[in-house]
Structure 1
Amino acid sequence: MDDVRRADQLLEQVVGVAARLGVRPEEVVEVTGGVANRGFGLGDRMFVRVARAGFEADLRKEIAVIPVARAAGVLTPGIVEYDESREVIDAPYVVMGRVHGIEPTDVPAELAEQLARLHDGAGLAVPGLPQDDWRDPWPVIDDLAERGFLDLGTAKWLADWFSRLAERFDRDQPTVLIHGDVAAHNLLVTPDGELTGLIDWGDAAYAPRAVDFAKLPLEHVAAILPDYVRHSTAGLRLDELAAGAVWLHLDWALGKLPAAPWPGQRHWTAPPASRILGLLRFFAGNPPEPWSGLT
């Protein structure tokens, strides 16, 4: 009952914000599915996101990153107002422009240029963002073998795979501003598949470029990476980026293996075995160079 009362109270508070912005109460509609925020459409032009408890810092981060991303030419909705005073709504909230679209079933071609614009905007600084880097995967493999998730032969094979990948790209390259959660549920497209928006910047960070290709299936990464290299002004090499992407997919797949099942989630990486089986599916499909040489 308390949850229902709080939900009704929040809706009333959002309706109050909407009224101040000239939106009628009947135009306020909650959009379900957000993990970090509750979302409400305010008619056709605006959208409200209210931080859930524990995710306030993510929303604050978005407020800092979105203007920078838009300045770099990234398709993401602009900020109308942000308030963390809790005087109007009993949680930090942001009103944004509303971008219309549906979740894609395939990777939109325009995503390559969008990510190149974001990553190449190195001079557009966002103070306070976390700094992520490459993790050393060999202790992870040893731990999985000791705990019985891997046999010793497979553990050695995986360790050797990482050693070969390590020779294919430079892990000391400068980090860039990344979105951090480039996945289908954060992309909006037209019915024809044209990208209209990249949303939800709560995982933004400074990290290797390849991290923004780690939450897409490798088939989708292989489809857009050549265009990403072509649009980038950083003089990138396709084979090095591909090796980094495979490294991350393999590293994150191994890290996920001991996890408990997480039913009811829509993103493809939720089941513990999805990433490792995604690697198997990708390489079993005879991918072209440079991918075929990265096993």
Structure 2
Amino acid sequence: MVDAVRLLARSYGVNADQVREVPGGVANRAFVLGERLFARVARPGFEEDLRKETAVVPVAREAGVRTPAILEYDPSDTLLGAPYVVVDRVHGIEPEVTPGELVIDLARLHAVRRGALAEVPVDGWGEPRIAVGELADRGYLDAETARWLDGWFTRLEQRFDRSASAVLVHGDVAPHNLLVGSDNSLQAVIDWGDAAWGPRALDFAKLRLTEVVQLLPEYLSVARELSDSTLAEDELAAGVLYLHLSWGLGKLQADPWPGQRHWTAPPASRLLNLLAFFTTNPPHPWHTLT
């Protein structure tokens, strides 16, 4: 494939010695094509995710989200043996601390009207009590703890509306899908393969809660101006916590996955992060959500 990508690069006037594969990437193989271009090639089974990106990215860019423009999309296997896109290359690094400007882009994305992108799938809250029951049945939880968790989910569900209108979400907002400059300013949000219509809390479910606490007030300020003046911080916080707890429990039965960059990859990390978060005496409304 590298040789084929070099041929692709040549069609853009990029020399073969300027082509470099970027390691990692579950859904795509990625290649730098000189200083200006970047190519992503779908891995087997992820072809539809790449196709979805080509529909979502122009809409996100029109809404003002910082994400690279798609210059070419080839859905065939003719040149590289798999579908690929060529996009503008954005120079940046993965952030150590989530940049504050991210909330502006998320608010803009969440303001996109549902009439656009009808083909994008719908994601939702899930059914966390199923995971609790399975964990109890398999001996990961005792019965009393399972009942306590069921009660916690019930209390959280009383704090937000599961039937609220869906918004367009990126679906995988995490450090490895953000690029920042040397001053930690946001340069781009990348990798739209998990984009969906769903609760806005989804786009805060892969950030550490200590960061969410800092980001949420500014997000709400921008989102209220753009799309929904009725947004309440306690409702959104309850939804974010609901997903963190649900996904943390769902991960407990997973096998360890060493060497991954993302903090949620180890099976127990998310639940332990919840524990650590609530030992920090979090501010209102978070301390009321237990």
Q: State the TM-score, normalizing by the size of structure 2.
A: 0.96
Query: In structure 2, what is the equivalent of residue 261 of structure 1?
Result: 256
Mapped pair 1:216 → 2:211: no
Partners of 1:39 and 1:139 in 2: CA distance: 37
Asked if the contact 1:186/1:198 (under 8 Å) is kept, the reply is yes
Asked if the contact 2:172/2:206 (under 8 Å) is kept, the reply is yes
Choose which of 71, 75, 90 in structure 1 pairs with 2:66. Answer: 75
TM-align CA RMSD: 1.0
The alpha carbon displacement at 1:19 in A equals 0.9
Choose which of 207, 218, 222 in structure 1 pairs with 2:198. Answer: 207
**Percent of aligned pairs with the same residue?**
58
Corresponding letter in the other structure for 1:290: P
Partners of 2:76 and 2:137 in 1: CA distance: 50
Query: In structure 2, what is the equivalent of residue 147 of structure 1?
Result: 138
Query: In structure 2, what is the equivalent of residue 122 of structure 1?
Result: 113
Asked if the contact 1:73/1:114 (under 8 Å) is kept, the reply is yes
C-alpha distance after superposition, 1:213-250 (max 9, x if no partner): 11111111111111110001312111100000000000
Corresponding letter in the other structure for 1:274: S
Partners of 1:79 and 1:294 in 2: CA distance: 42
Mapped pair 1:45 → 2:40: no
Partners of 2:64 and 2:115 in 1: CA distance: 12
Q: What is the aligned length?
A: 286
Question: Which region of structure 1 is more displaced relative to structure 2, 267-276 or 119-128?
Answer: 119-128
Which aligned runs of 4 or more in structure 1 are off by greater than 6 angstroms? none
The alpha carbon displacement at 1:139 in A equals 2.6
Asked if the contact 1:129/1:205 (under 8 Å) is kept, the reply is yes
Partners of 1:12 and 1:142 in 2: CA distance: 51
The alpha carbon displacement at 1:87 in A equals 2.0
Mapped pair 1:57 → 2:48: yes
Query: In structure 1, what is the equivalent of residue 239 of structure 2?
Result: 244
Instruction: Specify every segment of 5 or more residues in structure 2 that has no aligned partner in the other structure, as ranges.
Output: none
Mapped pair 1:101 → 2:92: yes
Mapped pair 1:282 → 2:274: no
The alpha carbon displacement at 1:140 in A equals 2.1
The alpha carbon displacement at 1:68 in A equals 0.7
Instruction: Specify every segment of 5 or more residues in structure 1 that has no aligned partner in the other structure, as ranges.
Output: 1-9
The alpha carbon displacement at 1:154 in A equals 1.1
The alpha carbon displacement at 1:152 in A equals 1.3
Q: State the TM-score, normalizing by the size of structure 1.
A: 0.95
2:187 is paired with a residue of what secondary structure?
A: strand
1:280 is paired with a residue of what secondary structure?
A: helix
Mapped pair 1:31 → 2:16: no
Asked if the contact 1:68/1:124 (under 8 Å) is kept, the reply is no
